[in-house]
Amino acid sequence: MTTPAPSAFDSWFRARHPEIRLEGAHAVLELSEGGATVPFITRYRKERTGNLDEVAIRSSLAAKELWDRILNRQTIILEAIERQKKLTPELKEKVVSTLDLDALEDLYLPYKQKRKTRSVLAREAGLEPLADWIWNCGHGTETPLPGQTLDLWAFTFRNLEKGITTAEAAIDGARDILVERIAETLELRARVRQALFEKGWLRAAKTDKAKPHSKYETYFAFQEKVSSLREPQSSHRYLAVRRGTAEGELSLTVGGPPDDAEFEARLTAAFESAALSVPDSPGADVLKKAARMALRDHVLPSIENEAHRALKDAADEVAIRVFAENVRPSAPSRSSEWTPACARAASWPQWTRPEPTSRTR
């Protein structure tokens, strides 16, 4: 595959970590590849990194790990689509230039091998041409023949062996195909992702399993903006509500701002607009319903899961950093004497042992 040039990493890294000098980050990566540990780089290679602190060093290493995951995922996706003989030069370029894991999954979604979903069963029953006809008429690229109503045309797609015995059943199957098509539209998924990540709010509510005088009582009617909870100073609250959910005392949802009653209505309108541009087409109602189902049953739950994953990753990073700072022992003196304290330190587990005072790695 065509891998992104080194300059792609540089611009990607600058966008993610504008607070870290790129030259220092490159020095960290080179030192790490040579076997240097984070404490060693922090203490003894300040002149190479431009005085980066431990937090910046760990962030640089984490960014490189994420970059490698992105490139690896690009390779896997390209190989999977190539095996299906569906990889076009345009699609290949789009995959290679996409440097976000969630956006990559959006690109791959139409090509994933699917379970026996309702849309798969509908295709196996031969209903995709009916779905295409409804879609094309709804977008003005096909015109119904005189007297060609939806019910009459759907009746011709009956398939007794597959359980499609009526026109209504054929229409329902075609709608399932259309729901999947709309739910896999990149622009719509990106719009929902932006809305939830930038303007969405996380809400926690008390469940029937909540205990009297619960330690989660503070969160029984909790709500906070998703973008706020991703900040280091707020992430502990997300971990708290997540624990409350795991213990069954809280339920979590992600939705619009408390002062914006039209938040979801705007998303619904965007989906309906993408699904239908000819309001009086034969399958207009089918397309509108498919759009609402795509948003409600597929895209919103999927992006909500992404938001939870992003919140947990941010909270875990802060928790690990705090833990590391709490357990890090003070640096020993540069004395070469073998004292009883040194003898005790030599027997400590490796993860708690102070860094050596020599300049070797």
Query: Mean pLDDT throughout 195-215?
Result: 95
Cβ-proximal residues to 291 (8 Å cutoff; 6+ apart), any chain: 182, 268, 271, 272, 274, 275, 276
- Residue 333, pLDDT > 80, answer no
Query: Mean pLDDT throughout 204-230?
Result: 94
Instruction: Give dist(CA 189, CA 302) in Å, integer.
Output: 9
Cβ-proximal residues to 141 (8 Å cutoff; 6+ apart), any chain: none
Domain boundaries of the chain, sorted by first residue:
6-111, 118-190+265-321, 201-255
Question: E strands, the chain, where?
Answer: 201-206, 221-225, 250-255
- Residue 335, pLDDT > 60, answer no
- Residue 342, pLDDT > 60, answer no
Q: Which range, of 36-50, 133-147, 196-210, averages the lowest pLDDT? A: 36-50
Going across the sheet that includes 201-206, the strands are: 221-225, 201-206, 250-255
In single-letter form, the type of residue at position 322 comes to: V
Instruction: Give dist(CA 187, CA 299) in Å, integer.
Output: 12
Give percent of the chain above pLDDT 70: 88
Write down the pLDDT at residue 24: 94
Write down the pLDDT at residue 297: 95
pLDDT band of residue 334 (cuts 50, 70, 90) is: very low
pLDDT in tens, 91-126: 999 999 999 999 999 999 999 887 888 999 999 999
- Residue 358, pLDDT > 60, answer no
Q: Are 254 and 225 a contacting pair, CB within 8 Å?
A: no
Instruction: Give dist(CA 304, CA 24) in Å, integer.
Output: 36
- Residue 348, pLDDT > 90, answer no
Write down the pLDDT at residue 328: 60
User: Can you read off the two tokens belonging to residue 233?
Assistant: 């100073």
Q: Which range, of 156-165, 171-180, 208-217, 312-321, averages the lowest pLDDT? A: 312-321
Query: Mean pLDDT throughout 144-149?
Result: 92
Q: Tokens 């790695």 identify what position?
A: 361
Q: Is the pTM of this model over 0.95?
A: no
Class of the CATH domain delimited by 6-111: mainly alpha
pLDDT in tens, 259-310: 999 999 999 999 999 999 999 999 999 999 999 999 999 999 999 999 999 9
Query: Mean pLDDT throughout 138-166?
Result: 94
Give percent of the chain above pLDDT 90: 76
- Nearest to 98, CA basis, from 70, 75, 79, 76: 70
Write down the pLDDT at residue 196: 96
